[in-house]
Amino acid sequence: MTSAEKLQALQADVDVFVGATEHTSLASLPHWGSLAVLLVILHCETQHGLVVTGPQVRGCTTVGDLLKLLP
Amino acid sequence: MHSSITNVRLAGLAVSTGSQTRDFIADGLALGLDRVMLERTAQTIGLRERKVAAPGITALDLCEDATRRLLDAAGLDASSIDAVIFVTQTPDHSQPNNASLLHGRLGLATGAAAFDLSLGCSGWVYGLQQAALLCAHGGAARVLLCAGDTLSRLTHPKDRSADPLFGDAGSAALIERTGHAAAWHFELGADGAGANAIIVPQGGARMPHDCKPLTEIPDLDGNVRHAANLAMQGGEVFNFSLRQAPPAVAAVMRHAHYTVEATEGLVLHQANRFVITTVGRKCGFPAEKTPSDVVEHYGNQSSASIPCALIHAFTEPLSSRALKLVLCGYGVGWSWGAVAAEFGPLVVAPIQPYPHSR
């Protein structure tokens, strides 16, 4: 999957990313918070079979950092 | 740990909930939160209403009410109970235990044993295994299993990651020795390395209530709590649930020779719809066999959530015939328990708020 495809899939599951780019800061997203972190964890598990932890997601600064967690 | 216990039956179930209704959207608006965000969260997680205990009402009161209604419905006298097990993390006191207090309130015989199990969302399955053991091998003919909590008292109202989730309830179940019943297959486990993921730090012997003043501290998302509040790492708990529940469910189904097709229901701990549907799917069950709407009416009821879901979703069939069911609870301590068994026919008392409305 390309980064663009990964972002598109993420946006389909977690609507806080709608309109975001790889360079968007997570902190700048209006609805970034504990629920969004949960939804990202769910997306990783259901779409990629990948277990990521809350601290891993929290450790990301930009949307691009999040996409790097994905295979 | 696997165990198979034969010649026991579940004879009755009752649940009493808190009497006060809290609405997720209204509570959020009162805190000044955005309605669109609240509605989106409600839809995603599956939060709507929850029932919390009125001031002064504890898990002991809720379980006592459930027990009295169950004994009435079953036409049984409390003197026929040989042991009472009380599963709770919110006992009336650090000493004595809730089981002994209930023993006294019900006027049980002095030969009846009474003990607590300190567990949360996995606790009903753990308690069921202990009750079954007492009946099969411990000299008891009838055991009362009570399970309940008032977790809504432990969360901070400004902690939106925990406070909207929890309802209060107490359950009662009767487990009996019988001469002719298929085995109940249990799988119990724990991962203490994750024990701090759900924690109330202050108030126990390690950090007594008077050791330091309670200071409210905001987290990265602006949620506020102090050291005597319940703190939960949601993402870690979610991953834990996905990691441990499906193998436990698969193990008990393998021992019981159950298939998904032949199993009439997978009753998971009612944490929230988001977790239930994900764990259920991971276990290979279709949504129609995995009740997930209990939590939208009552909230996460800790150890009372599985009996509440059984009554909510299966009252009619459980009252009239045997059902092949798989139950699984998972949560605090990082502990989990699953059981595959035939339950029913049994006496079911309806879910009721306590105190009862007049």
Domains of chain B are: 1-213+222-358 (3.40.47.10)
Contact with chain B for residue A63, Cβ under 8 A: no
The mean per-residue pLDDT over the stretch B223-248 comes to 92
Hey, are the CB atoms on A57 and B45 less than 8 Å from each other? no
Peptide linkage before B218 cis (omega within 30 of 0): no
Cα(B207)–Cα(B201) distance, integer angstroms = 7
Q: Residue B278 pLDDT more than 90?
A: no
**Model confidence pLDDT, tens digit, residues B177-197:** 998 889 999 999 999 999 999
| Token couple for B120 | 């949360």
Assign B247 to helix, strand or coil: helix
Assign B2 to helix, strand or coil: strand
Task: Quote the mean pLDDT of chain B.
Answer: 95
Contacts of B115 (CB under 8 A, 6+ apart): B85, B86, B97, B99
CA separation, residue B81 to residues A63, B118, B174 (Å): 59, 21, 9
Cα(B333)–Cα(B336) distance, integer angstroms = 9
CA separation, residue B277 to residues B46, B258, B266, B273, B285 (Å): 10, 20, 11, 6, 9
Looking at residue B346, its pLDDT comes to: 98
Hey, are the CB atoms on B238 and A39 less than 8 Å from each other? no
Exposed (0-12), middle (13-18) or buried (19+): which is B175, by Cβ within 10 Å? buried
Q: Residue B357 pLDDT more than 80?
A: no
Q: Which phi and psi (to 5°) does residue B84 adopt?
A: -125, 130
**What residues of B are labeled active site?**
121, 269, 300
The mean per-residue pLDDT over the stretch A13-39 comes to 87
Cα(B61)–Cα(B261) distance, integer angstroms = 40
| Rg of chain A, C-alpha, whole Å | 11
Contact with chain A for residue B234, Cβ under 8 A: yes
Q: Which residues of B touch A51 (CB under 8 A)?
A: 239, 242-243
Q: Which residues of A touch B221 (CB under 8 A)?
A: 33-34
Contact with chain B for residue A33, Cβ under 8 A: yes
Cα A47 to chain centroid distance, Å, stands at 12
Instruction: Read off the pLDDT band of B356 (50, 70, 90).
Output: confident
Closest CA to A42 of A16, A61, A14: A14
Looking at residue B97, its pLDDT comes to: 98
Answer for the pair B130, B158: CB distance below 8 angstroms, yes or no.
Answer: no
Structure ipTM over 0.95, yes or no? no
Task: Quote the mean pLDDT of chain A.
Answer: 89
Scanning B116-198, the segments in alpha helix (DSSP H) are 123-137
Instruction: Read off the pLDDT band of B66 (50, 70, 90).
Output: very high
Contact with chain A for residue B236, Cβ under 8 A: yes
CA separation, residue B3 to residues B65, B93, B188, B228, B333 (Å): 32, 32, 8, 36, 21
- Chain A nearest-CA distance from B343, in A, is 33
Considering the domain delimited by A3-69, tell me its CATH architecture: Orthogonal Bundle (1.10)
* B352/A48: higher pLDDT: B352
Q: Residue B89 pLDDT more than 80?
A: yes
Q: B41: nearest CA in chain A?
A: A35
Highest mean pLDDT among B29-43, B91-105, B148-162: B91-105
Q: B282: nearest CA in chain A?
A: A46
Looking at residue A49, its pLDDT comes to: 84
Q: Please tell me which of the candidates B45, B222, B239 has its beta carbon nearest to residue A51.
A: B239
Element (H, E) at B289: none
Instruction: Read off the pLDDT band of B358 (50, 70, 90).
Output: low
Task: Read off the pTM.
Answer: 0.93
